[in-house]
Chains A and B, each alone.
Chain A
């Protein structure tokens, strides 16, 4: 019979970062026996947690929601890599068939000073929302829109905007960056709108405000490209280049006397 379900189970050793609010954290080691290779990584942690509860140990706190790779809630550093070993795969989409019996796995929270640890593996990513709030929108109050087909959007522009808009805001780019820079996230959000005809009126203001808000919270980009490697949606580094170009231009365009042309 074809491979549909594995009878094979494995035993893993997990080194998990545990940290109470206001205290110093540290690694704890847990055995994870009886893990099926069809389980997702987070289901493996569910099983470990169920056992911890039985033993009277508070379960490991980690965040997830949709578990289908789109909401961007899950965020684990697995063996030093944001979202683990598989390319283009968020933590919740990682499955245990990527591992072998006897493996040791180290699980940490996102590493970045701008993402303080809340508890165990959960971190606070609210600075990403601050960047959005600074200009990640097109001003179009409800009811003010004209017929959608009055503004044709060239297909290449629509496709490129969609490539940028695919960002799920998980913060893996920040966690993977040696500088904890948020360039890839910000570029995805800025260029999604800057590439579209609808986004032109606020283009230069948006760019300046979002980039400068980003710089209040995050480190500087030095073109390592680790962000792209870790990105579960494979957002292109090109967007960073485009954003940088727009940012330089915005410094001229946003001068009061030069107009917005």
Chain B
């Protein structure tokens, strides 16, 4: 395959980069206030992106229906983000600007994102902080009452706003409160414990969804002029990740099967500082804030068969491998570099802990230098959390850490309007392939979710809806709804009828192992080809031998999981193919065939300066590959170096 796709039109407006969004807002069609109530919009998912979009569109006067599979919108996984949210406020007078945030994000994404989208993200970042503060988000303050900032993830300016270690929680509570105000005022109708299991389309346009009520099992249909998917990323394809237990790809995958292209599924962010797994029944991994690398030193013993306690290993028998290999950045190298190096030493057999699956993050030097009290004041809550999970005291012995899947940069392909390739179907937040390119910078996920939901989608969706004035949504009595509903019912009943021998979790764990081993931190051609065939065989076995007990007309968690894991199989296969065709290394995608002499990621801008977007062509054939060319007119292409 070569050449760029005619099908993919990014709809990036003309003009200088800094004027594109302003001009575009003026050029888009408007829906007058009296007409807005004639339009119905479905929003699926109530995390940062979904809740902010639903609330804002409700405020504008659209009739919004918001769906969440949680018991309350405020439980969405955005809530778990710890670190903070970036914004180009330059409150610290340290030279930050919209242009610098834009530049850093394009570079940090290893030049695999769309410049125009990223610039818009940087522009609206400042409005997000104003909006959240007005809602009562209790951001950290200086003594004078003004907002505090910190530098985060190696940024050279202090542009990160935070609310203790719970920034995601507080921003989500802010968006949730705005949403509940709209629910109270009738602008938004809220559907809790409803899982979207199908996107409904008519004549190629999105017109509604099919949901299963997780309590009663009822399969219902809902129609609207447009459908917005804000359903998060696909990190749980690895089984073990820092994602919540219920995070899944089903909504985006069902949309993909109905015609939405899936972009860059190979891009996954592996976070370097998570607590290693401790037993085969580990259900998820817990992230320890990246800020720990500011004071902790990472090392492994020199000896392969080391059995001594960390404190008994003399200095000259330790390998501080990041400090050794990257003298300039040391322990603060970017996430992908830190992760890959941890894998290298653990694979070499130098891992620590009884499962030999971690590296040390050692605070002894910092404690000796600053005193235990200072370290406690900085990281006390993190140290407590670590001790609660591992039973080890990090003031007395080093932490053990290992990388884990954290965020997925890939997702549904969207144009500048955040529209997928299905007209009327939008994807926002982590669910789209986003503005992060091949690697996301710290504290930028919250920013993008809220940018899409508060400040981008509510404008761009009007441009689509304006054309629909005078036409009612496709009624749910239309045969396309009955067909989709029957399809969902069949699928649900099929899981219950297989009655095999192994649980859904068993297959999810096995799938996760394959994806981690072959499409994890390091990929190569052989491994990826193996992955495709092994995932397919496992998938076949899953469909023949999974055991789902109980019935469909009640809360049945195994049944819910069966559908999600089935969709993860499809996603895993296209992820492997995407990784296979991208014969370069970029950001979170590291092909071992493509590295510099020093073992760093080696991009191939001549051949891979594009987005890969996959088109579903049916159950029995592999997806079609499409390419959208990326142009870098403002940020010059350079090779990242952290030596």
Given known A66-B244, A169-B74, contact A118–B555 (CB-CB < 8 A)? yes
- List which A55-91 residues lie within 8 A (CB) of chain B: 56-59, 61, 63-73, 86, 89
Interface 9-residue window, one of A191-199, A214-222, A250-258: A191-199
A242: Cβ under 8 A from any B Cβ: no
Given known A1-B307, A65-B244, A140-B135, contact A89–B388 (CB-CB < 8 A)? yes
Instruction: Say whether B177 contacts A132, CB under 8 Å.
Output: yes
Proximity bits, B197-227, A CB within 8 Å = 1, else 0: 0000000000000000001000000000000
Proximity bits, B56-75, A CB within 8 Å = 1, else 0: 10010000000000111111
Cβ–Cβ < 8 Å partners of A43 in chain B: 279, 281-283
Cβ–Cβ < 8 Å partners of A142 in chain B: 52, 55-56, 59, 131, 178, 454-455, 458
B506: Cβ under 8 A from any A Cβ: yes
Per the bound structure, the CA–CA distance linking A96 and B308 in Å amounts to 26
B478: Cβ under 8 A from any A Cβ: no
B483: Cβ under 8 A from any A Cβ: no
Interface size on B, residues (CB 8 A): 91
Instruction: Say whether B244 contacts A4, CB under 8 Å.
Output: no
Identity of the chain A residue whose Cβ is nearest the Cβ of B310 in the assembled complex:
A2
Given known A4-B353, A95-B389, contact A158–B178 (CB-CB < 8 A)? no
A228: Cβ under 8 A from any B Cβ: no
Cβ–Cβ < 8 Å partners of A58 in chain B: 549-550, 556
CB distance from B318 to the nearest CB of A (A): 15
Proximity bits, B127-142, A CB within 8 Å = 1, else 0: 1011111111011111
B146: Cβ under 8 A from any A Cβ: yes
Cβ–Cβ < 8 Å partners of B310 in chain A: 2
Instruction: Say whether B91 contacts A149, CB under 8 Å.
Output: yes
Given known A152-B144, A152-B145, contact A196–B136 (CB-CB < 8 A)? yes
Proximity bits, B242-256, A CB within 8 Å = 1, else 0: 001110000000000
CB distance from A220 to the nearest CB of B (A): 24
Given known A54-B503, A152-B144, A153-B145, contact A67–B284 (CB-CB < 8 A)? yes
Instruction: Say whether B178 contacts A137, CB under 8 Å.
Output: yes
> Which residue from A38, A57, A65, A168 sits with its C-beta under 8 Å from B279?
A38
Identity of the chain B residue whose Cβ is nearest the Cβ of A194 in the assembled complex:
B136
Cβ–Cβ < 8 Å partners of A140 in chain B: 131, 134-135, 178
Instruction: Say whether B75 contacts A192, CB under 8 Å.
Output: no
Proximity bits, B542-555, A CB within 8 Å = 1, else 0: 00000101100011
Per the bound structure, the CA–CA distance linking A43 and B132 in Å amounts to 36
A24: Cβ under 8 A from any B Cβ: no
B631: Cβ under 8 A from any A Cβ: no
Instruction: Say whether B56 contacts A162, CB under 8 Å.
Output: no
B169: Cβ under 8 A from any A Cβ: yes
A103: Cβ under 8 A from any B Cβ: no
CB distance from A200 to the nearest CB of B (A): 11
Per the bound structure, the CA–CA distance linking A22 and B506 in Å amounts to 31
Instruction: Say whether B130 contacts A147, CB under 8 Å.
Output: yes
Instruction: Say whether A59 contacts B549, CB under 8 Å.
Output: yes
Instruction: Say whether B244 contacts A67, CB under 8 Å.
Output: yes
A36: Cβ under 8 A from any B Cβ: yes
CB distance from A256 to the nearest CB of B (A): 21
Instruction: Say whether B184 contacts A126, CB under 8 Å.
Output: no
Instruction: Say whether B129 contacts A148, CB under 8 Å.
Output: yes
B309: Cβ under 8 A from any A Cβ: yes
Instruction: Say whether A4 contacts B354, CB under 8 Å.
Output: yes
Cβ–Cβ < 8 Å partners of A54 in chain B: 501, 503
A134: Cβ under 8 A from any B Cβ: yes
Cβ–Cβ < 8 Å partners of B355 in chain A: 5
Instruction: Say whether A70 contacts B245, CB under 8 Å.
Output: no
B163: Cβ under 8 A from any A Cβ: yes
- List which A16-50 residues lie within 8 A (CB) of chain B: 20-21, 36-40, 42-43, 46-47, 49-50
Instruction: Say whether A65 contacts B70, CB under 8 Å.
Output: yes
B183: Cβ under 8 A from any A Cβ: yes
A237: Cβ under 8 A from any B Cβ: no
Instruction: Say whether A198 contacts B133, CB under 8 Å.
Output: yes
> Which residue from A37, A56, A125 sits with its C-beta under 8 Å from B549?
A56
Instruction: Say whether A70 contacts B145, CB under 8 Å.
Output: no
Interface size on A, residues (CB 8 A): 84
A223: Cβ under 8 A from any B Cβ: no
Proximity bits, B278-319, A CB within 8 Å = 1, else 0: 110111101100000000000000000001111000000000
A165: Cβ under 8 A from any B Cβ: yes
Per the bound structure, the CA–CA distance linking A40 and B281 in Å amounts to 10
Instruction: Say whether B550 contacts A137, CB under 8 Å.
Output: no
- List which A91-149 residues lie within 8 A (CB) of chain B: 93, 95, 97, 118-119, 122, 124-126, 128-129, 132-134, 136-149
Instruction: Say whether A38 contacts B80, CB under 8 Å.
Output: no
Per the bound structure, the CA–CA distance linking A89 and B384 in Å amounts to 11
CB distance from A235 to the nearest CB of B (A): 13
> Which residue from A70, A119, A134 sits with its C-beta under 8 Å from B166?
A70
Chain A interface, DSSP helix/strand/loop, else mixed: loop
Instruction: Say whether B550 contacts A198, CB under 8 Å.
Output: no
Cβ–Cβ < 8 Å partners of B71 in chain A: 63, 73, 124-126
Instruction: Say whether B77 contacts A66, CB under 8 Å.
Output: yes
Cβ–Cβ < 8 Å partners of B142 in chain A: 155
Instruction: Say whether A145 contacts B131, CB under 8 Å.
Output: yes
Cβ–Cβ < 8 Å partners of B80 in chain A: 66, 68, 70-71
Instruction: Say whether B549 contacts A199, CB under 8 Å.
Output: no
Instruction: Say whether B79 contacts A71, CB under 8 Å.
Output: yes
B595: Cβ under 8 A from any A Cβ: no
CB distance from A164 to the nearest CB of B (A): 8
A53: Cβ under 8 A from any B Cβ: yes
Most chain A CB neighbours (cut-off 10 Å) among B75, B91, B142, B143: B75
- List which B90-141 residues lie within 8 A (CB) of chain A: 91, 127, 129-136, 138-141
CB distance from A229 to the nearest CB of B (A): 18
Instruction: Say whether A61 contacts B555, CB under 8 Å.
Output: yes
Per the bound structure, the CA–CA distance linking A236 and B127 in Å amounts to 33
Per the bound structure, the CA–CA distance linking A50 and B164 in Å amounts to 38
Per the bound structure, the CA–CA distance linking A54 and B503 in Å amounts to 8
Per the bound structure, the CA–CA distance linking A199 and B137 in Å amounts to 11
> Which residue from B138, B146, B389, B505 sits with its C-beta under 8 Å from A46?
B505
CB distance from B12 to the nearest CB of A (A): 24
Instruction: Say whether A152 contacts B146, CB under 8 Å.
Output: yes
Given known A53-B547, A65-B75, A126-B71, contact A145–B133 (CB-CB < 8 A)? yes
CB distance from B151 to the nearest CB of A (A): 19
Cβ–Cβ < 8 Å partners of A193 in chain B: 136
B482: Cβ under 8 A from any A Cβ: no
CB distance from B59 to the nearest CB of A (A): 5
Cβ–Cβ < 8 Å partners of B73 in chain A: 129
Instruction: Say whether A97 contacts B72, CB under 8 Å.
Output: no
Instruction: Say whether B145 contacts A154, CB under 8 Å.
Output: yes
Instruction: Say whether A132 contacts B192, CB under 8 Å.
Output: no
Cβ–Cβ < 8 Å partners of B132 in chain A: 148
Identity of the chain B residue whose Cβ is nearest the Cβ of A52 in the assembled complex:
B549
User: What are the 8 A-B residue pairs with the smallest beta carbon separation, nearest first?
Assistant: A152-B145, A5-B354, A137-B177, A145-B134, A140-B134, A148-B133, A38-B278, A145-B130
Sample of 19 more A-B contacts, CB < 8 Å, known A73-B71, A152-B141, A155-B145:
A1-B307, A20-B554, A50-B281, A58-B549, A65-B75, A65-B77, A65-B246, A73-B75, A95-B389, A126-B71, A132-B180, A138-B134, A142-B455, A148-B134, A151-B133, A159-B141, A165-B163, A166-B164, A198-B135
Can you sample 11 A-B contacts with CB below 8 Å?
Answer: A5-B353, A50-B503, A54-B501, A59-B557, A65-B244, A67-B245, A68-B284, A129-B73, A132-B176, A133-B180, A137-B181
Which B residues form the contact surface with A (CB < 8 A)?
A: 52, 55-56, 59, 70-75, 77, 79-80, 89, 91, 127, 129-136, 138-147, 163-164, 166, 169-170, 173, 176-178, 180-181, 183-184, 192, 215, 244-246, 278-279, 281-284, 286-287, 307-310, 352-355, 385, 388-392, 397, 400, 454-455, 458, 501, 503, 505-506, 547, 549-550, 554-558
